[in-house]
C-alpha cells in the first residue's frame, strides 16, 4: 500500500467531509478512544478448553462449518489473538467465557472455577494492555442437557448453576480489580421450551429467584459490572425462552445490572438500533453483542451492512460512546477463523467511524425544521462520502494494514499457521 497515496486520498476526503460540517480529525480521535470487547470464542467455535469430552456446543447455538485450523488449546488461541490484534486499529478488550480458564489439563467443574484459573490470562492481558471481560458458560454441559439451568425445576441443577454464576462473578471481580478496569460479566442462559409452555410464570419466577441469589453478594462497580442477555428463541427453545428481553430489561433496570442487546436476538424486522436511546435514557449503560443474523440468530460474521451501520450510528447519535460496551458475538467455522474475527471486528470499527462521520448537525437541524427532504438527501449524500479513504488513513496511522492488505495477510497466516494444525 502506497502511504503517499493513502495520505493524499485522506486529504481530499477530509475536505469533502469538512464541506458537510464534519471534522474527520475529531472523528478519528473519538474512534481511537473506543475499545471493542473481542469475543475469544470465534477462535475455537465456542469449544473452550475444559479438558473433557463435553466439547460439543449445545444450548441452542451452533457453529457450522469445518474449515481447518481452529485453535486446539490456549496457546493456539493466544497465538491467533496476537495476530488478530495486529490487524485491528486501536486497543481492544478481550471477552472470555468461563470454559476458557487455564485449567492446566485438570478437570475443573463449572461450580469450582476460581480466579486463579485466569491468572495466565491476566498476565497475557497485562503484557499487551488488553483488559478482560467474562461470561458464565451455561451450555455444553450434561447438567444443561435438559435445556434448563438457572430456571430448572430440579433444585440440584439450579443450585449447581447458581454456584457457577457466583463463581463467574468472583472471577470477573478479580479480573476487574487486578487490571484496574471494570470487568463486564455477561450472563446468558439457554433455558426454554421447544413447544407450547404450560407454566411460563413458574419458570420466570425460578429464574428471578436464581438471579436474586447470584447478585446478592455486592461487588464494587469499579471492579465488576453485571449484564443480562435475553433472547427471542433458540434451536430447541422455539416456543419459549425464560430469559426474554422484557424479563431481563425489567430485572436489570430494577436491580442495577446492564441489559445486553444481541443483534441476533430479536425478531428479524425489529430494529435493535432503535432500542439504544430508549435503554440509555433509563439505564445509563448497556452491553451490545454485535452479531449478524441471517434469517435467524445465526451468528454470522458482522459486515458493514445497513443493520451494523444503523446500530453503531445510533450508539454515536444517542451519546452512547463510553456508555455502550461494544461486545462482539459471532462464530463462523466455515472460513479461516482469524479471517472471520478480523473482517467482523473491522466492520464494527468502520460502522463506528461512519457513525462518527455523519453530518449530524445538518441532519438534526433539517429534522427539527421539518425539512424531511433535506434530511433524506443528507443521509443519501453521507453514504457516498469517502469513508474508505478516512478508514485507510486511520489504519496506517495506527500501524495496521489498510483494507486492501487484509486478505493477503490472512491468507499468509492461513498457510503458515492455521493449515499446519492438522
Ligand atoms: C447465545 C448468546 C451468547 C453466546 C455466547 C457464546 O445466543 O448470544 O451470548 O453467543 O455467550
Ligand atoms: Zn450474545
pTM for this predicted structure: 0.98
Architecture of domain 23-356: Alpha-Beta Barrel (3.20)
Query: For residue 290, which ligand has an atom nearest its CA?
Result: 2
- pLDDT block averages, 10 residues each, the chain of length 422: 93 98 98 98 97 77 95 98 98 98 96 98 98 98 97 98 99 99 98 98 98 98 98 97 98 98 96 98 97 96 98 98 98 98 99 98 98 98 98 98 98 98 84
Per-residue DSSP letter, 182: P
What pLDDT, in 10s, does the model give residues 361-379? Answer: 999 999 999 999 999 999 9
From 44, 139, 229, the mutation candidate for ligand 1 (largest count of ligand atoms within 8 A of CB) is: 229
- Ligand 1 atom closest to Cα of 41? 6
Question: DSSP label at 374?
Answer: H
pLDDT at 53: 55
Nearest CA to ligand 1 atom 2: 188
Query: What integer pLDDT is reported at residue 55 of this predicted model?
Result: 64
Which residue minimizes the CA distance to atom 7 of ligand 1?
61
Q: 197 near 148, Cβ under 8 Å?
A: no
Q: How far is CA 216 from CA 169, 289, 384, in A?
A: 11, 25, 51
Q: Measure the CA–CA gap between 252 and 45, rounded to whole angstroms.
A: 29
Q: Which residues line ligand 1 (CB under 6 A)?
A: 41, 46, 61, 135, 188, 229, 231, 262, 289, 297, 329
CB-based contacts of 236: which residues, under 8 Å, 6+ apart? 60, 147, 190, 192, 194
Place of cell 443450585: 159
| Residue 77 half-sphere exposure toward CB, CA atoms < 13 A | 23
Q: How far is CA 68 from the centre of its chain?
A: 24
Amino acid at each position: 500500500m502506497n502511504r503517499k497515496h493513502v495520505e493524499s486520498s485522506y486529504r481530499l476526503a477530509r475536505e469533502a467531509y469538512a464541506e458537510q460540517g464534519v471534522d474527520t480529525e475529531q472523528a478519528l480521535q473519538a474512534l481511537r478512544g473506543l475499545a471493542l470487547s473481542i469475543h475469544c470464542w470465534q477462535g475455537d467455535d465456542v469449544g473452550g478448553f475444559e479438558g473433557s469430552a463435553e466439547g460439543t456446543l449445545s444450548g441452542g447455538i451452533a457453529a457450522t462449518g469445518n474449515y481447518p485450523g481452529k485453535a486446539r488449546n490456549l496457546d493456539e488461541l493466544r497465538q491467533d489473538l496476537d495476530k488478530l490484534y495486529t490487524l485491528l486499529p486501536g486497543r481492544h478488550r478481550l471477552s472470555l467465557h468461563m470454559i476458557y480458564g487455564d485449567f492446566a489439563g485438570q478437570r475443573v467443574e463449572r461450580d469450582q472455577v476460581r480466579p486463579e484459573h485466569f491468572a495466565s490470562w491476566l498476565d497475557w492481558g497485562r503484557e499487551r494492555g488488553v483488559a478482560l471481560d467474562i461470561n458464565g458458560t451455561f451450555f455444553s454441559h450434561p447438567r444443561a442437557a435438559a435445556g434448563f439451568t438457572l430456571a430448572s425445576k430440579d433444585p440440584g441443577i439450579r443450585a449447581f448453576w447458581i454456584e457457577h454464576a457466583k463463581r463467574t462473578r468472583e472471577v470477573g471481580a478479580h479480573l476487574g480489580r487486578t487490571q484496574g478496569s471494570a470487568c463486564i460479566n455477561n450472563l446468558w442462559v439457554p433455558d426454554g421450551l421447544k413447544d407450547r409452555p404450560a407454566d411460563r410464570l413458574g419458570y420466570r419466577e425460578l429464574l428471578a429467584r436464581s438471579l436474586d441469589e447470584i447478585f446478592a453478594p455486592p461487588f464494587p462497580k469499579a471492579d465488576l459490572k453485571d449484564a443480562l442477555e435475553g433472547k427471542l428463541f433458540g434451536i430447541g427453545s422455539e416456543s419459549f425462552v425464560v430469559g426474554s428481553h422484557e424479563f431481563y430489561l425489567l430485572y436489570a433496570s430494577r436491580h442495577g445490572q446492564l441489559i445486553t442487546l444481541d443483534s441476533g436476538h430479536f425478531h428479524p424486522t425489529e430494529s435493535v438500533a432503535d432500542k439504544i436511546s430508549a435503554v440509555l435514557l433509563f439505564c445509563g449503560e448497556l452491553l451490545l453483542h454485535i452479531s449478524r443474523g441471517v434469517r435467524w440468530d445465526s451468528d454470522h460474521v458482522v459486515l458493514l451492512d445497513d443493520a451494523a451501520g444503523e446500530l453503531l450510528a445510533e450508539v454515536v447519535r444517542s451519546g452512547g460512546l463510553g456508555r455502550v460496551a461494544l461486545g462482539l458475538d459471532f462464530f463462523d467455522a466455515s472460513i479461516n477463523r482469524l479471517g472471520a474475527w478480523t473482517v467482523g471486528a473491522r466492520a464494527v470499527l468502520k460502522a463506528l467511524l461512519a457513525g462518527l462521520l455523519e453530518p449530524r448537525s445538518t441532519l438534526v437541524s433539517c429534522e427539527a425544521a421539518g425539512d424531511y427532504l433535506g434530511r433524506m438527501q443528507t443521509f443519501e449524500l453521507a453514504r457516498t462520502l469517502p469513508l474508505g479513504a478516512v478508514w485507510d488513513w486511520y489504519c496506517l496511522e495506527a500501524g495496521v494494514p489498510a483494507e486492501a492488505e487484509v486478505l493477503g495477510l490472512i491468507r499468509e497466516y492461513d498457510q503458515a499457521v492455521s493449515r499446519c494444525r492438522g
